[in-house]
Amino acid sequence: MTFVQAIVLAVLQGISELFPVSSLGHTILIPALLGWHNIDRADPSFLAFVVVLHLGTAIALIVFYRDDWVKLGRALVGSIARGKLSDDVDERVAWLLVVGTVPVGILGLLFKEKVSVLFGAVAPAAIFLMINGLVMFAGDWLRRRQHAATGAAYKPIERLSYPQSVAVGFGQALALLPGISRSGASMVVGLLCGLDMASAARYSFLLATPVIFAAAALEIPELWAPGAHVVAVQAIVGAVLAGIFAYLSVAFLTKYFKNHDLRPFGWYCLLFGALCLILAKIGAIS
Amino acid sequence: MKILALVLTVVFVLFAITAATGICNAVPALGFDGSHHIKHAILYAVLGVLSIVWYRFQANASA
């Protein structure tokens, strides 16, 4: 992997991890489009580099939501120490996040590698990216229909039930499929559970933070795996860039989703996925 | 629910021990495929801790 490739992949990771467009799908499709056949996704050094990028992204998310995490952490520890749940909003949100993290933790550990072996090629990633676009359109349409039919006000995050939080967690677990966006899927489920767009986005980013961090932390031993000769400069620059772009992305998206919905990302996923699928079918990329 | 929390605690702790020691590699349905057993052990240990916390909440709620 060249230095330029490392920089492009780091920026791509930082942006696409938070935008609802699937980072995993893009790390398959973009190198294929650019003809980077020297990148072996199964190579220990590439896996180690990806771990570093994810750590950068996770740290950026923690920094962006640092005040929330301090409050949520205190509330969580307080409730455990008391041995009782209270009506505190932060405590409620903290436990919703814990419960919502369980599905992706289990499914990720059990199926991540099997899924990446089965679907880690250009054509499946392109197809899943198109499906991701359709899911965003469907989610947005269902939310509008549900809201128009019931006329009920959107609820804040703390009004989610625990089963609903588990459902959002299962939505997030769909991102194990390359092309399905973690944030997109969890936002759609959040919308269908009655959250407004801004709250669904915020909950999605909060829910993604421990998952991205834990997934990266569990892979840290890969950094010392045989053959994992990560170039230190590439790794450090990559992590910093991934973190900066992740921070900028989440700052942009939290503002964007106050007044906009998922449809532009749905169009992007449909069109980009279709383009990649056509190119793969005619043999232009592989 | 208290009983369920207790059962889950015991089950997850047993899974964590078997995953950590690698004595249950022949049960792929539980994720014990012979590799990544430490990650599975960590996952089951975390689930065990959450189950204990849940049990404590249930016990205090009924007290």
Residue-wise pLDDT for A148-205, tens only, equals 777 777 889 999 999 999 999 999 999 888 899 999 999 999 999 989 999 999 999 9
- Residue B36: the pLDDT is 61
- Residue B29: the pLDDT is 56
- Residue A71: the pLDDT is 96
Residues of A in contact with B43 (CB under 8 A): 105-106, 109
DSSP letter (8 states) at residue B23: T
Mean pLDDT along residues B4-27: 82
Mean pLDDT along residues B30-50: 76
Supply B12's token pair. Answer: 């997850």
Report CA A196 to chain centroid distance, whole Å: 19
Residue A261: count of CB within 10 angstroms of its CB: 19
Q: For residues A273 and B60, what is the distance between their CA atoms, to the nearest angstrom?
A: 52
For testing the chain B interface, which of A51, A80, A112, A222 should be mutated: the one with the most B CBs within 10 Å? Answer: A80
Q: Among A83, A84, A109, select the one facing B31 at the smallest CB separation.
A: A109
Residues of chain A with pLDDT under 50: none
B52 close contact with A: CB closer than 8 A: no
- Residue A160: the pLDDT is 93
Contact yes or no for A128/A112 (Cβ under 8 A): no
Residue A219: count of CB within 10 angstroms of its CB: 18
Interior angle at CA A71, CA A156 and CA B12, nearest 5 = 85
- Residue A204: the pLDDT is 95
For residue B24, pLDDT over 70 is answered with no
Q: For residues A83 and A79, what is the distance between their CA atoms, to the nearest angstrom?
A: 6
- Residue A7: the pLDDT is 92
Residues of A in contact with B42 (CB under 8 A): 218
- Residue A273: the pLDDT is 95
Contact yes or no for B16/B44 (Cβ under 8 A): yes
Confidence of residue B27 (pLDDT cuts 50, 70, 90): low
Residue A2: count of CB within 10 angstroms of its CB: 11
For testing the chain A interface, which of B43, B47, B51 should be mutated: the one with the most A CBs within 10 Å? Answer: B43
Q: For residues A254 and A91, what is the distance between their CA atoms, to the nearest angstrom?
A: 22
Whether residue A83 and residue B40 make contact (CB cut-off 8 A), yes or no, is no
Interior angle at CA A171, CA A149 and CA B37, nearest 5 = 160
Amino acid identity for residue A270 in this structure: L
B10 close contact with A: CB closer than 8 A: no
ipTM topping 0.90 = no
Contact yes or no for A205/A20 (Cβ under 8 A): no
Amino acid identity for residue A108 in this structure: G
Contact yes or no for A135/A184 (Cβ under 8 A): yes
Q: For residues B2 and A239, what is the distance between their CA atoms, to the nearest angstrom?
A: 44
Whether residue A105 and residue B43 make contact (CB cut-off 8 A), yes or no, is yes
